[in-house]
Amino acid sequence: MKYLFITLCISLFISCQKKDESESKKTPPTPIPTDFIEELWYKNAFLYSVDVEVFKDSDGDGVGDFKGITQQLDYLIQLGVRTIWLAPFQPTPNKDDGYDIADFYGIDSRLGTDQDFDEFIRQTNKKGIRVMMDLVTNHTSDQHPWFKAARQRKDSPYRSWYVWSKEQPKKWDKGMIFPGVQKEVWSYDKQAGEYFYHRFYDFQPDLNMQNPALQREMRKIVRHWLDKGVAGFRVDAVPFLIEIANADFDPEKPQYQFDIITQLHQYIQWHKKDAILLGEANVDPKDQQDYFGKDGQNMQTMFNFFANQYLFYSLATGETKLLKKALEDTKAIPPTAQWATFLRNHDEIDLGRLSDSERDKVYARFGPDSTMQLYDRGIRRRLAPMLGDRKLIDLAYSFLFSMPGMPVIRYGEEIGMGDDLKLKERLSIRTPMQWSNAPNAGFSTAAKTVQPVISQGPYSYTKGVNVADQRADSASLLNQITRLAQLRKQCPEIGWGNWEMLDTGSEQVLAIRYDWQGRSLVVVHNFSSEPQQCQIATKTQTGRPLTDLMNNSETPLGTGGNFAVQLPGYTFRWYRVKK
């Protein structure tokens, strides 16, 4: 409701602006009134994604825990993080790294107790950190008591909480999310005597979200965690959560029930006015409006998977044309909405929306070996080993912090952690955090850790890929990312303002201008390994020089607000435009 109100105010504001403009024929500015900065905190947040299990082990049993992460909060503060997103931490058989939940209200005993969780939240509150968590209600583990009851008896009230078919559905082997690993989306359950539906692995039966009882249960779950102090939810697998699944439906052409999200949005806001939903929905830009909601009444924020794929294409080829188009294609979102932008997350890089030849170019550069590829669409590597070149890595992070959206970084990426391709599927990029060059990278004192620590090769914790060594080195990736996070804080116009792409005269150089409340910023990135000579039209007529925010040097502007710049390979500039 609150957001609807804010959206209405903003729309009104914008439409008044538009009227003025049509009279004066100026470019339409769409500033957002500052009154809503508190509620719309995610416009300019920096989100850190972490899995408690592999972050820091406090008791020496080899598994990370809530006490461990609580001890490391100052590290996150130093990095500039004020929002954490926790991967699932509830009781689980752990066959999908916790995304197979067996109790939505509990804490996995390996990670700590309810009290440990509460203490963690108390400490984050004290330090001004918001905590978001995964909401994985598309499916449960097959070990969840609801599924156990549902498969046991036809007349169980839980039977209709899942999706069943007496006969094998015609499309039983269509629409798998993990092709190559998963064989079907309908599996026969002997005990139930029927087929059950699962978009993901066969140990993750899909919940039947059309059932109002289950929608009530989902509200109960979010209420439970909001009451415990969380600031919002990363909603897992949104398109599958809201698809209308039944024995006759076509998993390749599903229909969606968006009001499940609208109601969830309203519900969480009644309980906490600035709580948010962050959707995992890899959708085509033509569908993004449905997910954000026309007036912002669905997801406040969603991962920009679309731009992510073209960003990797640009990093691989040096060409920016398709990335520019992807940014333009994902530009039109409600004024209260925001994209969550990222380089790597905890899954494979999904390149499924690129053409075959585009994807092949990314594979050739970043994942040439078949062991690096996954599910016929992606790459299961961490960023540092993939990009290899430190200058390219710096360019990628500078672009991430300066592109439209709120940047999200996965733990370990800030120190350039490597991957372990011996581990299966996406576990390759889920190895323990590397804190120091002590045994087990200072993650744990146990003889055996929950996942192996990377201790061989150039990404070993003994080779400087650890927090302690990098803190002490001003040129380290960790310190570079800390600086970028600070820089982003000095540039609120990125999250709040209007943006437009500027002409650079180079296919390899991408420049964006932001404007907000009289403040303007121009960011320029050279995606090519070669130097580029460009002529950038800033559209500024003040005649005052630009200030380079990295080194405070000044760049004079020529007539018409143009300036020439020679950018060495893989370099970038952040310029403040003076009024």
Q: Which among 207, 212, 279, 280 is positioned nearest to 243, based on CA atoms?
A: 207
* Residue 115 to residue 445: CA distance in whole angstroms: 23
| Cβ-proximal residue to ligand GLC, closest one | 99
Give the residue with the Cβ less far from ligand GLC, 136 or 491. Answer: 136
Give the residue with the Cβ less far from ligand GLC, 243 or 493. Answer: 243
Three-class SS state of 268? helix
Three-class SS state of 135? strand
Give the residue with the Cβ less far from ligand GLC, 116 or 236. Answer: 236
* Residue 107 to residue 117: CA distance in whole angstroms: 8
* Residue 418 to residue 259: CA distance in whole angstroms: 41
Strands 546-548 and 572-577: antiparallel
Q: Which amino acid is at 218?
A: M
Residue whose tokens read 């406040």: 300
How near is the Cβ of 192 to ligand GLC at its closest, in Å? 22
Residue whose tokens read 């075959």: 356
How near is the Cβ of 152 to ligand GLC at its closest, in Å? 24
The yes-or-no answer on residue 35 being catalytic is: no
| Helices and strands counted in the chain (H then E) | 17, 22
Give the residue with the Cβ less far from ligand GLC, 7 or 137. Answer: 137
Give the residue with the Cβ less far from ligand GLC, 88 or 285. Answer: 88
Q: Which among 166, 149, 158 is positioned nearest to 217, based on CA atoms?
A: 158
Which residue(s) pair with 515 in the sheet? 498, 520
Give the residue with the Cβ less far from ligand GLC, 65 or 96. Answer: 96
How near is the Cβ of 208 to ligand GLC at its closest, in Å? 16
The yes-or-no answer on residue 134 being catalytic is: no
How near is the Cβ of 137 to ligand GLC at its closest, in Å? 10
Structure tokens at 439: 């045994």
Residues near ligand GLC (CB under 6 A) are 96, 99, 136, 200, 236-237, 280, 346-347
Sheet containing strand 373-374, edge to edge, reads 349-350, 378-379, 373-374
Catalytic entry in 39, 53, 236, 419: 236
How near is the Cβ of 96 to ligand GLC at its closest, in Å? 5
Q: What is the DSSP string of 178-237?
A: SBTTB--SEEEETTTTEEEE-SS-TTSPBB-TTSHHHHHHHHHHHHHHHHHT--EEEETT
Catalytic entry in 53, 184, 280, 414: 280
How near is the Cβ of 549 to ligand GLC at its closest, in Å? 34
How near is the Cβ of 566 to ligand GLC at its closest, in Å? 42
Axis-axis angle for helices 305-317, 356-366 (nearest 10): 60
- Residue 363 contacts residue 379 (beta carbons within 8 Å): yes
Give the residue with the Cβ less far from ligand GLC, 162 or 200. Answer: 200
* Catalytic residue IDs: 236, 280
